[in-house]
């Protein structure tokens, strides 16, 4: 068996050059997820990479990439509590799913990744968040003899429920799976809305540009949260700019799905989602609270489900968060896990303890904002 070679990338220009090889490797992996695409991760780095260091690890066999560890080093300070240098996945926390990209000789590749990380002395804590429980990364990390390799044991905990819908072959079959009350509400509110307005479903292609469609979506999303006295996700310019770029890149690839429910040509609800490999990822939604009596978000989601079924998609992923409304859609649940270990340092131990507590971590975060250091 050939000896595998490991390479480390810490320069963004080299990351940019990897585009085609990266996505080709991802396509060959068992856990091919949109949040691991070069387009998502490279765009994320352009907007959030300042103050961090790339630590992308590649395993190759005669110029053929077998595995990728999309990692970075981030250093945080918490006022007078101390500092913490973490190894984490690129894309955290905006990515709803993270993992290693593995195609062949998976355990050997993962062992090489961890061994290479162990040669660096500039980090204290490994924090691998939002790894889906059904990935090969989780299986292998559980089997990895880390006490010999890293002189410590990996720990694991569940951090998020991720509801999803298994899509049937027809809308009729799907409707039968919903509760009687849900079916009645959808039909009654759709009839009421259509009686009072001219109702249509439009996409970003019906706007003059992706930017115009995204601005409309931002406005609807913010309206919903502002009525609750909250700022909303897109109050931050960095996040608006990031998703502008994601939307442009994904539209070019045919992955962007930005749907709007309109009443007399006025957008009243929106779903910002991605279609990738027989699966829809519903990332965020928004609606005008003036139309909440019609359950416009549910009406638009039903239209999106119908479109997915017509296209032959197999899954509608509602992503992170076990919000009660997701249960109305005959969902099943996956778990997102966090895998971590403490390498060194008192503050790393304090942080690890706090991260497992429902009260201690928010207290630390209030006393001192997380500042990424260069």
Range of the domain at 204: 168-313
What pLDDT shows up at residue 373?
A: 47
d(CA 211, CA 208): 8
How many domains would you assign to the chain? 2
Q: Is residue 329 part of a domain?
A: no
- 72 shares a domain with 103: yes
- 238 shares a domain with 135: no
Q: Is residue 305 part of a domain?
A: yes
CB 82 within 8 A of CB 346: yes
Using one digit for the tens of pLDDT, what is the confidence trace for 53-83? 999 999 998 889 999 999 999 998 876 667 8
Rounded average pLDDT over 117-140 = 94
CB 288 within 8 A of CB 269: yes
- 343 shares a domain with 215: no
Q: Is residue 330 part of a domain?
A: no
CATH code of the domain containing 181: 3.40.630.30
What pLDDT shows up at residue 346?
A: 78
- 126 shares a domain with 202: no
d(CA 288, CA 270): 9
Using one digit for the tens of pLDDT, what is the confidence trace for 312-329? 999 999 999 999 999 999
- 173 shares a domain with 145: no
Interstrand relation of 53-61 and 5-9 (parallel, antiparallel or unpaired):
antiparallel
Q: Is residue 328 part of a domain?
A: no
- 139 shares a domain with 31: yes
What pLDDT shows up at residue 352?
A: 80
What pLDDT shows up at residue 369?
A: 45
- 40 shares a domain with 22: yes
What pLDDT shows up at residue 344?
A: 83
Q: Is residue 299 part of a domain?
A: yes
Backbone angles phi, psi at 345, to 5 degrees: 95, 140
pLDDT at residue 180 is higher than 80: yes
- 10 shares a domain with 150: yes
Q: Is residue 323 part of a domain?
A: no
d(CA 194, CA 200): 9
Using one digit for the tens of pLDDT, what is the confidence trace for 323-352? 999 999 999 999 999 998 888 887 788 778
């Amino acid at each position: 068996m050939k000896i595998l070679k490991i390479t480390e990338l810490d320069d963004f220009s080299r990351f940019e050059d990897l585009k085609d090889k990266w996505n080709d490797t991802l396509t060959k992996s068992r856990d091919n997820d949109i949040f691991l695409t070069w387009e998502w991760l490279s765009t994320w780095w352009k907007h959030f990479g300042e103050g961090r260091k790339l630590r992308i690890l590649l395993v190759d066999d005669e110029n053929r990439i077998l595995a990728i560890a999309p990692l970075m080093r981030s250093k945080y300070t918490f006022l007078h509590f101390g500092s913490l240098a973490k190894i984490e996945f690129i894309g955290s926390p905006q990515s709803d799913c993270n993992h290693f990209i593995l195609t062949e000789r998976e355990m050997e590749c993962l062992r090489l990744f961890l061994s290479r990380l162990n040669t660096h002395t500039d980090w204290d804590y490994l924090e691998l968040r939002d790894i889906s429980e059904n990935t090969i990364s989780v299986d292998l990390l559980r089997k990895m003899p880390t006490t010999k390799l890293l002189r410590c044991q990996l720990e694991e905990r569940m951090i998020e429920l991720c509801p999803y819908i298994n899509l049937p072959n027809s809308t009729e079959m799907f409707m039968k799976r919903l509760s009687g009350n849900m079916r009645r509400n959808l039909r009654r509110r759709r009839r009421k809305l259509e009686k009072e307005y001219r109702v249509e479903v439009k996409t970003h292609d019906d706007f003059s540009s992706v930017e115009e469609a995204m601005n409309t979506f931002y406005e609807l999303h913010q309206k919903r949260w502002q009525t609750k006295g909250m700022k909303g996700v897109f109050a931050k310019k960095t996040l608006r700019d990031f998703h502008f770029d994601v939307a442009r890149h994904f539209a070019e690839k045919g992955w962007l799905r930005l749907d709007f429910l309109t009443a007399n040509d006025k957008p009243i609800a929106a779903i910002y989602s991605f279609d990738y490999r027989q699966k829809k990822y519903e990332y965020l939604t928004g609606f005008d609270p003036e139309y909440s009596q019609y359950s416009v978000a549910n009406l638009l989601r039903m239209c999106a489900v119908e479109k997915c079924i017509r296209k032959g998609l197999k899954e509608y992923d509602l992503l992170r968060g076990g919000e009660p409304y997701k249960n109305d859609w005959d969902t099943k649940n996956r778990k997102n896990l966090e895998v971590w270990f403490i390498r060194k340092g008192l503050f790393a131990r304090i942080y690890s303890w706090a991260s497992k507590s429902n009260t201690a971590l928010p207290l630390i975060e209030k006393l001192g904002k997380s500042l990424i250091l260069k």
